Structures are given as C-alpha cells and as structure tokens.
Structure 1
Amino acid sequence: MPVISVIYSDLCRLVGELIPMESLGDLLARVKVGFEGEEEGELELEVTADRLDLVTVEGIARALKGIMGKEAGPPRYDAFDSGWEVRVDPSVERVRPYVVGAVVEGVELDEDALVALMRAQEKLHQTLGRDRRKMSMGIHNADVIEPPISYAAEPSDRVRFVPLGEAEEMTAREMLSRTEKGREYAHLVGDGSVVPVLRDSKGDVLSIPPILNGELTRVTESTRNLFIDVTGPDLRAISQALVLITTALAERGGRIGTVVVRYPGDPGELITPDLSTSELTVDVKYVNSVMGINLTPEEISDLL
C-alpha cells in the first residue's frame, strides 16, 4: 500500500485545528489511513490503494473534517469556464494519445503547500500513473502561458527549450540523455526520435510529457495561478488524476477552471476536469447484516 509523508502542521492547518498527536492515530484509522510514525514534524502514513484521494494531505484533511464533524456530506466543488483550450494534433495518437487540463486560480502556496503539491504529483505518478506509463502530470505557472495550448508529436532534435532545473537551452533529444529525469524516463517515448510536446500560442515549450516541464513555467511560492496538464494512454486514468489534484488545490482556496480539449477524432470535445458526482443506492438491512450492528438510515448517513 502507498506510504506518504505529510507535514504535521500543514495537516492541522488544513483541518482547522491542532490535533493532539495522541489522538491522531485513532482518527486516521477511521478514514483508512495507517499512522506509521512521526519524526521532526513529518508524519509517515499508509493509505489503502482503493482511496487514492488520500495520497494527498488535502484529501486526508478533507476526510478528517468529516469524521470530526466539521463538514457533513460529500464535498462539492464549483468550476468556472477558464476560456482556455488544448488543441490535440493527430500526430500524438501513436505516441501518447490523450491529454486533459485545468486552470486553478488563487492558490496560496507557501513552502509547506509547495512541498505537499510536489509530493502529491509524484505519488500519483507512482500509483495511478504506474511510474508515469499510464499517467503523468505537469503543473505550471499559468501567468506566463498564453492559450490556446497545442499538443503534438514533434521530431526531438527540432524541439528546443530550457528543461526544468537546467540553465541552458537544449533539444528534446539532448534532454533525454543529459538530464536525470530524461535518462530515467526516456524509455517511455520509444527511440526518442519523436516526442509529445505541449506549446502555448507563442510557441513556447511548456512540457515534454511524460519526461520534464520547461523552466519557463516553474512553480514557486509566489505562484498563484496554475495550469495543469495530464497526459497518457488511458483517458480514464488521466481524468481521475486531474480531479484528484485540482480538488486538492481547491482545499487550499484555489478556484477550479475548466479547459476545453479538442481532439481531431474520438473522443471529440471534452470539458475537463469533470467534477460531476455519482449516486449509489444501498440496502440498510444488507449494511447492518454485513456490519453485525443495527443502524438507522439517518445514523448511516451521519457516519458517511
């Protein structure tokens, strides 16, 4: 099961109160999170594979607020039309065919929040993304991007940009061999002769998914508006990942903006993220028989 690191003070801030360490373990167990230990303000937590919303500290805080009676019912998130578009070129079909996106505005990112965001991104890469094979995401400073965004496959020796964490411009082919992430994930783009590229309307390279973002869109503590792209061969997985990361940012006060993604063929036009909810009907008698207790519908509702 996934093990995550969480900053204790950040978790308490998101919950809205200081949770005594001696009662934290019991509260976490009630939301299916195992408390492995604490060292220098860092919590080691184990989450179940069927609750990927709990790989983010924001998701854990959301669950704890329900258990503690601070918030009742399912969380509701509103989204506005950002006006942004991602235009998908047919060339990506045999490279990395799907992309979804979102804008999140007004996020407060101090040092702890930025650490939490990067940890959530990497944990989702490892779990839902199967080490970026199934899904990878890029998180960008939206203020330096001019939409619409294009997503196309291009010859790697013709794509020039400054990779994240580097000081000099290089081609995408050079990036695959000269950077740590390039060497680690180069196998995900075949022989490397062609790579998927996200560009804005100025032609600036935002990212070479699933490898590395550009230095241009680096996110810092002063960043307030984000553009998030998620790419991969599995549309369901990338859509789920986008919902998980955008709703986590909404717990920090971010406003979620939808993005129109236009494909040349199937699936056509998508509006992402899809924040719609589904309903499940359960039989009270069946619940009580499985649990070995006798609860009323109202009591069951209060415990959800």
Structure 2
Amino acid sequence: MATDSPAVREPATGPLTTRDSLPGRAVDLLAAEWIKLSAARSTWLIVGLGLLGSIGSALLFNNSTVHKWDGWEPDERAGFDPLAASFSGFALLQLALMAVGALAMSREYSSGLIRTTFTAAPARRAVLAAKAATVGALAAGVGLTASLATFTLSQAMFAEKHFGLSLTAPGAVRAILASSLHLAGVALIGLALAALLRHGAGSVTACFGFLFLAPVFLQSNNGWMLRVHQSLMDSAIRHLTVSHVERHGPSTPGAWAVLLITPLVLLAVAAVVVDRRDV
C-alpha cells in the first residue's frame, strides 16, 4: 500500500513580509513618531501661538512703516529693506519651534516613555532619525506657510506706497525657502539638545543661548570672531533674507551650508550619545 509523502512545511519564521523589511520598519517608526508628535496638544498650541505671534507682529511693524513712510527722510527710505521686513517677526516662531523640537524628545524622558520606545525599537539611532524627520517636516511646513503669508501680506501693504516686491523679485524665493529651512533647523537643534540634556527647560534654554545670545556676544568685524560669527545660523539667515549683501556677512553658499550643517552636526552628536548611554 502506497504511503503519503511527507508534507513540505514552511519555515517556522514564515516568509519575509513587507513590514519586516528595512523600508517597512522605517515607515512604522515614522508613523509612530508622527502619532506621538501630532497627538500632543502642546505641539499644536505652541505652533498656533508661534504662527499668530510671528505673522501678527510682522504685519503690525510693517503697517506702522507704511503709515510713517511719507514722513521719512530720503536716506531712511533708501536704508529700508522691504524683503527683510517681511520676516521681522520670526524670532517668535523660532522660539515656538525650538520648544516643539525640544518637547518632542524631552517629554519621553520626563514621562519614562523613552524606555518603552527603546524596548520596542532597539535601534536608537533610527528612533532619533524618525523623530528628526517628523519634527523637521512639521517645522519646514510651518516655516514655509509663515514665510509665504508674511511676504505676501507685507508686500501688499508696501504696494500702497509703491515699494512692494513681487514673488519674482531678486532674492524673494531664496528668502522664503531659506526661512523655511532655518526654522526646520531651529526645531532640529532643539530636538538634538533635548536628546543630549534629557531635560525640556534646559534644552530650550541652551537652544536660546546658542541661537540668540551667541550672535550678540560673538559679534565682530575682524579676526577669528568674525569667522565664528559668520558660521552662526543667525548670520546665515540674515544674509539670505536681505536685498543688499552685508559687508561682513558670510557668502551665499556658506550661508546655505551653515543652515544645513549646523543641525546635522548636533543631531550626529546626539545620535552617538543616545546610542552609548543606558537610556
């Protein structure tokens, strides 16, 4: 009597699924980090207040300029830069986005959720990269929205006195894109410092000192301090959002490089530190 041949069995682990692949795991990490970022009410509250404050203050300043324009002397009018004035309120948005970046990391340390995160995803550098991608994308989108809004509304005000700029004016698109990139970098610096310090208030304070106080104390027109000042993000974004090139500012390629490299270097340092310590 013939016997049945033994059945061919699948390996116990089963075939490799899409979610087991590297792209699948990356998508899962990004989705998880976006859920954590977007589910926090503080994220949208801070972003909303930052947008309202930055756009509102820029419009108030520029509206005041329009009303005073007829009383200005010719040299005052010649020294006014309508392009740079469009972004005059962005310090408030910088503060908001650095806080969003810092809280995206520090809230997990303060709540203890970071242990669960690293248990579920042991590849800590991948977790940090996913956080950076979501925070950076959010900040870049917010920055682009704010830049377009303030530029369009401000130039519409200036058009009443016939000195408004169009989107095709030299430097306009560059300034809008640079502002968006700068704000994304600010948020990523906040994230990186929070990963290093593991403390929300401490990381925001350190970020404030790095972005706002350092340019003041390191300001110089010659020597090594000038080169240091030119390598700061404040000098870079100022150079890329003005109509007239500053005498002691960085070069245009150098300014773009500063906006790109500064947050990436801090994130790289944070990735090494996070990967080596216990939590």
TM-score (norm 2): 0.24
Over alpha carbons, which structure has the higher Rg? 2
Which of the two has greater strand per residue? 1
Higher share in helix: 2
